[in-house]
Chain A
């Protein structure tokens, strides 16, 4: 078996057409050319490595395994290109490690170190720096911008819930609107609210309510239907108003936007098309800190008390939600993102015990109109 092959020594650009012979007894590939040192080179068959993902099938480019990474892989700088079909077949047959890719020792440690640093930096950004920035930003963002932003998030949310065009899922009926307006007015007038609230009802079976930035509050039909008294709806609404007033929703949405941008970079989507969707999804599954929830609860109880409404509705509602969840476990339920329900129901109940004279938020007829606002 003797053929010529193009040889480059990796030091000069000089091409040598070396004579090639396979010595199966010594397990070497022998290169002969007068210009080689001593005229001959022996390449051990088990050290032969072929270049991968090559376009040309009529040639085989080979090199030797090296102990050091000169470029990237553990391969030598010399190159040997074989064009003879029979020789290529023989070499492929005799060299089991031809396609093997050798990895330098210590690579795993380097990968783990870099991975750790990258994850650490991202975690630092997402859990420390972004929340801090979002906290500051939420206080200084002008209200008009906040409102415009909140509206766009509500539209995104509608799309996620299955509304094909803007406003398609928004419920409205003259009596229902009037009832909602009365309920809202009775709640907020005694306490006073900084934001111009925009409260919508969305036509979806989910038992949920959301607060988006800038006073945008969404009550979902499933929640209004599940409530047994207008006071229960009022309690949930008061809780969401608390998130708006404390700017929890603004803070959370800002943080979600920043995190989505960073994660988009990691996943190779720098254009940021995912950011808007991520924010809406975040609002849908909004999870505030425990302190924010406790503060919102307290605010809601005070607001109900100021309005002369019993807070037992709050407690009852949490109880009834627990029932719904046990019947329909796969339904996303309000309380699933608001943990320690029993504890909070108890707090509301003991608060109710200290209340004076109370009056329901709506008459039965008005509550019925509100529950049928989507029909």
Chain B
């Protein structure tokens, strides 16, 4: 065994696309019920495509347990949301009957925020639970990963960090990123070996440099534009600044991922390195978007041709009728219906295909890049790790499914 392991990704576009297309179609015709199995099968593919030292990862979750977890979450959410909504309505009574207009407006804003705040803890809870479930259903070399129970601790910490970040206008964002990631990493296990997040939160600040630059560009450009009475300067700096801000956000995510991965330790002995590159990720996203746009244009053109063919068929039958060579029985209204059906089918194919393209061209390629940029040092120590007990995970990630969070995979 080599002393350092570099991550490898073996996933291919074709098989994953057809797997996505197949499962998305099944999801569609089952009115969404198959989505638990669809997600599970996509994960099985991506996990099995990831390997270290030739040994593939494995995803052991099942669609069935996701469905059961979702049903459990539905019960809890129905009751919780019912009670919260009722409480809100009750307080709404007092808020809304205030006679003065500005107070009423304020009350409305307040009510909206209270509604959001009522769901926010649940969203955070679901985020932690979903990560715990995915971790508990991941294996490498036959050994389970795992995560301790701690969702409520995560909820109130995350709320506190978000509040601090918000009132400091984002200056404390690295602090939030670091401590929330540390909270989760410090509860993660590989077999009986514990992960630990070391390092300092201040070391994430350089990752914000492009965001800072974008904000300065927008601010100075806007001020300069007003001062010089030049809308061109204001608008162009706002435009460039906005694009730069998006790129800066990606840069921050990649930078913090690299820094945090380098400061991660497993079992006090195994260390990690990561060299993911922002430029590569942005190139993947841009080519992915280009592929999606190209596919859309082609599909729309094909639909147009089909429509024209169907209508042409009708014109043809009408012309033959006027020519007097045939009777009214030759009119073929089926042409229009056939065209309509074909268009509908093509539309569904397009929607499913675009989802598949986004998964294959963007998500999978980013995963591939990140996986192959991670290096595990002192790998022989991993042979001493032993199995951990299975985590039954009563709700799987039902809350995340019910609240529709969790992203692409």
**What residues of chain A have their CB less than 8 Å away from a CB belonging to chain B?**
6, 8-15, 51-56, 59, 61, 70-73, 75, 77-79, 81, 103, 107, 110-111, 114-115, 117-118, 121-122, 124-125, 129-130, 133, 136-137, 140-142, 145, 258, 262, 265-271
Do B96 and A142 touch (CB < 8 A)?
Answer: yes
Do B45 and A118 touch (CB < 8 A)?
Answer: no
Known: A8-B141, A12-B385, A52-B44. 19 other contacts (CB 8 A): A13-B141, A13-B191, A51-B44, A53-B48, A54-B44, A59-B56, A70-B390, A71-B60, A79-B58, A118-B72, A122-B78, A125-B82, A140-B93, A262-B78, A265-B77, A267-B32, A268-B32, A268-B404, A271-B404
Cβ distance A29 to chain B, nearest Cβ, rounded Å: 17
Nearest 5 pairs between A and B by C-beta? A55-B49, A8-B142, A270-B404, A53-B44, A114-B71
**What residues of chain B have their CB less than 8 Å away from a CB belonging to chain A?**
1, 10-12, 15-16, 19, 31-32, 35, 41-42, 44-46, 48-49, 54-56, 58, 60-62, 64-65, 67-68, 71-72, 74-75, 77-79, 81-82, 85-86, 89, 92-93, 96-97, 104, 136-137, 139, 141-144, 191, 382-387, 390, 401-404
Residues of chain A within 8 A of B77, CB atoms compared = 265
Do B92 and A140 touch (CB < 8 A)?
Answer: yes
Looking at B56, B65, B67, B404, which has the most chain A CB atoms within 10 Å of its CB? Answer: B56
Residues of chain B within 8 A of A124, CB atoms compared = 78
Cβ distance B55 to chain A, nearest Cβ, rounded Å: 7
Do A54 and B71 touch (CB < 8 A)?
Answer: no
Cβ distance B159 to chain A, nearest Cβ, rounded Å: 20
Contact of A56 among B56, B143, B387, B403 (CB under 8 A): B56
Looking at A55, A79, A125, A136, which has the most chain B CB atoms within 10 Å of its CB? Answer: A55
Residues of chain B within 8 A of A262, CB atoms compared = 78, 81
Cβ distance B218 to chain A, nearest Cβ, rounded Å: 29
Beta-carbon nearest neighbor of A10 in chain B: B142
Expressed in whole angstroms, the Cα–Cα distance for A8 and B383 within the complex equals 11
Expressed in whole angstroms, the Cα–Cα distance for A140 and B60 within the complex equals 51
Residues of chain A within 8 A of B72, CB atoms compared = 114, 118
Residues of chain B within 8 A of A73, CB atoms compared = 60, 62
Cβ distance A104 to chain B, nearest Cβ, rounded Å: 9
Beta-carbon nearest neighbor of A73 in chain B: B62
Cβ distance A201 to chain B, nearest Cβ, rounded Å: 32
Q: Known: A54-B44, A81-B55. Contact between A129 and B64, CB under 8 A?
A: no
Residues of chain A within 8 A of B35, CB atoms compared = 268
Do A6 and B74 touch (CB < 8 A)?
Answer: no
Residues of chain B within 8 A of A110, CB atoms compared = 68
Expressed in whole angstroms, the Cα–Cα distance for A8 and B140 within the complex equals 10
27 A-B pairs with C-beta separation under 8 A: A6-B55, A8-B55, A8-B143, A12-B143, A12-B383, A15-B141, A52-B44, A55-B11, A61-B48, A71-B390, A72-B60, A73-B62, A77-B142, A111-B64, A114-B72, A117-B75, A118-B72, A121-B74, A122-B78, A136-B89, A142-B96, A262-B81, A265-B404, A266-B74, A267-B31, A270-B403, A271-B404
Dominant SS among interface residues on chain B: helix
Expressed in whole angstroms, the Cα–Cα distance for A262 and B85 within the complex equals 12
Residues of chain B within 8 A of A77, CB atoms compared = 142, 387
Do A270 and B402 touch (CB < 8 A)?
Answer: yes
Do A54 and B78 touch (CB < 8 A)?
Answer: no
Cβ distance A61 to chain B, nearest Cβ, rounded Å: 7
Cβ distance A5 to chain B, nearest Cβ, rounded Å: 12
Do A72 and B137 touch (CB < 8 A)?
Answer: yes
Q: Known: A77-B142, A262-B78. Contact between A13 and B382, CB under 8 A?
A: yes
Cβ distance A375 to chain B, nearest Cβ, rounded Å: 30
Residues of chain A within 8 A of B78, CB atoms compared = 118, 121-122, 124-125, 262
Beta-carbon nearest neighbor of A80 in chain B: B142
Do A55 and B10 touch (CB < 8 A)?
Answer: yes
Cβ distance B177 to chain A, nearest Cβ, rounded Å: 26
Do A111 and B137 touch (CB < 8 A)?
Answer: no
Do B61 and A56 touch (CB < 8 A)?
Answer: no
Beta-carbon nearest neighbor of A270 in chain B: B404
Do B85 and A258 touch (CB < 8 A)?
Answer: yes
Expressed in whole angstroms, the Cα–Cα distance for A247 and B75 within the complex equals 31
Looking at B11, B62, B74, B77, which has the most chain A CB atoms within 10 Å of its CB? Answer: B74
Do A140 and B65 touch (CB < 8 A)?
Answer: no
Residues of chain A within 8 A of B44, CB atoms compared = 51-54
Do A12 and B386 touch (CB < 8 A)?
Answer: yes
Do B387 and A10 touch (CB < 8 A)?
Answer: yes
Expressed in whole angstroms, the Cα–Cα distance for A130 and B86 within the complex equals 9
Do A11 and B93 touch (CB < 8 A)?
Answer: no
Expressed in whole angstroms, the Cα–Cα distance for A73 and B49 within the complex equals 20
Residues of chain B within 8 A of A13, CB atoms compared = 141-143, 191, 382-386
Q: Known: A55-B11, A72-B61, A265-B402. Contact between A118 and B74, CB under 8 A?
A: yes
Beta-carbon nearest neighbor of B402 in chain A: A265
Expressed in whole angstroms, the Cα–Cα distance for A221 and B48 within the complex equals 62
Cβ distance B132 to chain A, nearest Cβ, rounded Å: 14
Residues of chain B within 8 A of A268, CB atoms compared = 32, 35, 401, 404
Residues of chain B within 8 A of A72, CB atoms compared = 60-62, 64-65, 137
Q: Known: A55-B10, A56-B56, A118-B71. Contact between A79 and B142, CB under 8 A?
A: yes
Residues of chain A within 8 A of B10, CB atoms compared = 55-56
Expressed in whole angstroms, the Cα–Cα distance for A136 and B92 within the complex equals 11
Residues of chain B within 8 A of A130, CB atoms compared = 82
Contact of A122 among B19, B42, B74 (CB under 8 A): B74
Cβ distance B394 to chain A, nearest Cβ, rounded Å: 11
Looking at B78, B92, B143, B402, which has the most chain A CB atoms within 10 Å of its CB? Answer: B78
Do B55 and A15 touch (CB < 8 A)?
Answer: yes
Expressed in whole angstroms, the Cα–Cα distance for A145 and B92 within the complex equals 13
Contact of B97 among A8, A142, A266 (CB under 8 A): A142
Cβ distance A6 to chain B, nearest Cβ, rounded Å: 7
Do A11 and B404 touch (CB < 8 A)?
Answer: no
Cβ distance B80 to chain A, nearest Cβ, rounded Å: 10
Expressed in whole angstroms, the Cα–Cα distance for A375 and B74 within the complex equals 51
Do A55 and B79 touch (CB < 8 A)?
Answer: no
Expressed in whole angstroms, the Cα–Cα distance for A54 and B46 within the complex equals 8
Cβ distance B130 to chain A, nearest Cβ, rounded Å: 14
Contact of A55 among B12, B92, B390 (CB under 8 A): B12
Expressed in whole angstroms, the Cα–Cα distance for A111 and B89 within the complex equals 34
Cβ distance A7 to chain B, nearest Cβ, rounded Å: 9
